[in-house]
């Protein structure tokens, strides 16, 4: 490893499937070491993970970074949003964490919306209408289904909070991740007492809110990671807010992330409040806002369709009138948590490659349908769409997004933007800079731009028509629109 030009920082991405760690030169943004270790996610009735394996994965990822991790002056954790981590008096998990894509709390989500004034009231108070992904619905589900577990709970955390607390010994969170709980009021930027009372959650069980740029704590003695005692620990944040930091995103620039979930978002200086629930009114990690729409089914769903067809994920073929809605795990946008996939328009001459292309089209359609709601009215409609996440490297994803959006598409060369954003947050502690400015100095968004092509209005209209016509079927198993 060549000598660094500045101090080293560590950025972490603890995602649904794995934990990744980057050691970054704070002066240049050069990644000097990296590591990654997988997680196990249950595949039964719900989606759960034991938080202790996140710590084990973090230790493995940092061990892969070697001596560079030991030299770090600051560290920050970015993590999957919404997950419900319940801890006992000793700080150990009471039960496995309920993850963002666990849809068992759909009945609780519907009931909470009704009991607390309806969708418009929720949007005005918290910025969002809670779906089954939101942490508040998961706590309500746990209280109804596992009351003994709830009685044992002495602390409630989000995934990134859990790892940060194990580093520092202090329970902290940040506005970006807290805004996805459903019990954080975006207007006052405080925990919402009415919501907490309704679900029977004592606010004393929740972590302290750390302001943007504030130090969350320092690494304590009792840990088995390579950091020195006293190493600075930043607030950390949720994965989408961390990725926005990693891009150095400016207000109005659209971002589409193609991962386990698919998201579209843009930094905004206006506090969002969409009463339809399509757009979640999240906060960002700096003091602005991050209106966002999310689908449950993205790269994993399309890869599953490819596997069922016995095809490589790139083996798409054009010229199809078939429609495939890849709602393999239910869906969040549209809000159909109990729906399943739907295939329409199949004919004798339909090829396997055309079916696969239809899966791509169905996944991208849901995201683009929310993009106009995410962006402010004065946003530039010709601005390049930043395409990030694992799917952004795939030609079929790139061309589908281009064809259905009608926008130029920019593909940042920087990888692991969540971990890079966390690293930028850690670097900001050392330099006093805005983390987004740090990322822009690192030039993280640089990458090729694919020119705009004519928007495929016919495909968009066809898919929208199928979604509308199939609504009674999609909703029959308990989904709601």
Q: What is the pLDDT along the chain (481 residues), one digit of tens a residue?
A: 457 788 999 999 999 999 999 999 999 999 999 999 999 999 877 999 999 999 999 999 999 999 999 999 999 999 999 999 999 999 999 999 999 989 899 999 999 999 999 999 999 999 999 999 999 999 999 999 999 999 999 999 999 999 999 999 999 999 999 999 999 999 999 999 999 999 999 999 999 999 999 999 999 986 789 999 999 999 999 999 999 999 999 999 999 999 888 999 999 999 999 999 889 999 999 999 999 998 889 999 999 999 999 999 999 999 889 999 999 988 878 878 888 899 999 999 999 999 999 999 999 998 998 888 888 777 787 889 999 988 999 999 999 999 999 999 999 999 899 999 999 999 999 999 999 999 999 999 999 999 999 999 999 999 999 988 887 777 665 443 3
Q: Dihedral of the CA atoms 162, 168, 172, 178 (nearest 10)? A: -40
Residue 478's pLDDT is 43
Q: Do the bridges between strand 323-325 and strand 385-388 make them parallel or antiparallel, or are there none, so unpaired? A: unpaired
Please, are residues 288 and 266 in contact by the beta-carbon 8 Å criterion?
A: no
The two structure tokens encoding residue 410: 């920019």
Please pick, among 13, 239, 288, 329, the residue that the annotation labels catalytic: 239
Residue 1's pLDDT is 46
Q: Which residues make Cβ contacts (< 8 Å) with residue 276, sequence separation at least 6? A: 119, 129, 373
- Its pTM stands at 0.90
Chain centre to alpha carbon of residue 336: 19
Please, are residues 399 and 407 in contact by the beta-carbon 8 Å criterion?
A: no
Q: Dihedral of the CA atoms 105, 111, 114, 119 (nearest 10)? A: 10
Residue 108's pLDDT is 97
Please give the Cα distance from 160 to 169 (Å, whole number): 14
Is 56 part of the annotated catalytic residue set? no
Question: What are the DSSP calls for 45-100, one per residue?
Answer: SS-EE-HHHHHHHHHHHHHHHTHHHHTEEEEEEEE-SS-BEEE-TTS-BSSPEEPT
Q: Phi first, then psi: what are they for 32, rounded to 5°?
A: -95, -15
Please give the Cα distance from 375 to 378 (Å, whole number): 8
The two structure tokens encoding residue 184: 């954080």
Residue 475's pLDDT is 67
Report angle CA 127, 335, 19 to the nearest 5 degrees: 75
Q: Give the bridge partners for 203, in sequence order.
A: none
Please give the Cα distance from 182 to 161 (Å, whole number): 16
Please give the Cα distance from 367 to 134 (Å, whole number): 19
Residue 334's pLDDT is 81
Is residue 400 classed exposed, middle or buried when 0-12, 13-18 and 19+ CB atoms within 10 A define those classes? buried
Rg, C-alpha atoms of the chain: 21
User: Looking at 318-459, which runs of residues are DSSP E strands?
Assistant: 323-325, 342-344, 385-388, 409-410, 449-450
Beta-carbon count within 10 A of 344 CB? 17
Q: Which residues make Cβ contacts (< 8 Å) with residue 411, sequence separation at least 6? A: 386, 387, 388, 392, 393, 398, 447, 448, 449, 450
């Amino acid at each position: 490893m060549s000598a660094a030009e500045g101090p080293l920082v560590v950025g972490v991405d603890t995602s649904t499937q794995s934990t990744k760690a980057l050691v970054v030169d704070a002066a240049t943004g050069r990644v000097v070491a990296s590591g990654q270790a997988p997680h196990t996610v249950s595949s039964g009735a719900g989606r759960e993970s034991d938080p202790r394996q996140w710590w084990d994965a973090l230790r493995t990822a940092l061990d892969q970074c070697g001596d560079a991790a030991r030299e770090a002056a600051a560290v920050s954790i970015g993590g999957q949003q919404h997950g419900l981590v319940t801890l006992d008096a000793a700080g150990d998990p009471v039960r496995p964490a309920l993850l963002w894509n666990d849809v068992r709390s759909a009945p609780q989500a519907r009931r909470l919306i009704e009991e607390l004034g309806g969708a418009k009231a929720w949007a005005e108070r918290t910025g969002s209408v809670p779906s089954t992904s939101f942490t508040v619905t998961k706590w309500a589900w746990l209280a109804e289904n596992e009351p003994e577990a709830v009685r044992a709970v002495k602390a409630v955390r989000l995934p990134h909070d859990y790892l940060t607390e194990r580093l520092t010994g202090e329970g902290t969170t940040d506005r970006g991740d807290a805004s996805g709980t459903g019990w954080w009021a975006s207007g006052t930027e405080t925990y919402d007492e009415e919501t907490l009372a309704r679900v029977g959650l004592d606010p004393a069980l929740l972590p302290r809110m750390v302001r943007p740029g504030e130090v969350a704590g320092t690494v304590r003695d009792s840990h088995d990671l390579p950091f020195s005692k006293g190493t600075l620990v930043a607030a950390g944040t949720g994965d989408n807010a961390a990725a926005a930091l990693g891009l150095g995103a400016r207000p109005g620039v659209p971002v589409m992330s193609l991962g386990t979930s698919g998201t579209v978002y843009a930094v905004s200086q206006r506090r969002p409040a969409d009463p339809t629930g399509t757009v979640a009114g999240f906060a960002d990690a700096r003091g602005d806002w991050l209106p966002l729409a999310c689908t449950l089914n993205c790269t994993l769903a399309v890869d599953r369709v490819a596997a069922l067809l016995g095809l490589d994920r790139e083996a798409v073929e054009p010229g199809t009138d078939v429609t495939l809605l890849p709602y393999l795990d239910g869906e969040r946008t549209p809000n159909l948590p109990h729906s399943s996939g739907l295939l329409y328009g199949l004919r004798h001459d339909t090829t396997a490659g055309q079916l696969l292309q239809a899966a791509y089209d169905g996944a991208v359609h849901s995201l683009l349908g929310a993009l106009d709601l995410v962006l402010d009215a004065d946003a530039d409609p010709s601005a390049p769409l930043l395409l990030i996440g694992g799917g952004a490297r795939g030609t079929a994803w790139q061309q589908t997004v281009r064809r259905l959006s009608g926008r130029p598409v920019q593909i940042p060369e920087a990888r692991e933007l969540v971990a890079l954003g966390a690293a930028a947050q850690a670097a900001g502690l050392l330099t006093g800079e805005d983390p987004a400015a740090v990322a822009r100095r690192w030039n993280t968004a640089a990458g090729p731009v694919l020119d705009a092509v004519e928007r495929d209005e016919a495909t968009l209209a066809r898919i929208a028509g199928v979604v509308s016509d199939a609504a009674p079927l999609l909703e029959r198993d308990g989904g709601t629109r």
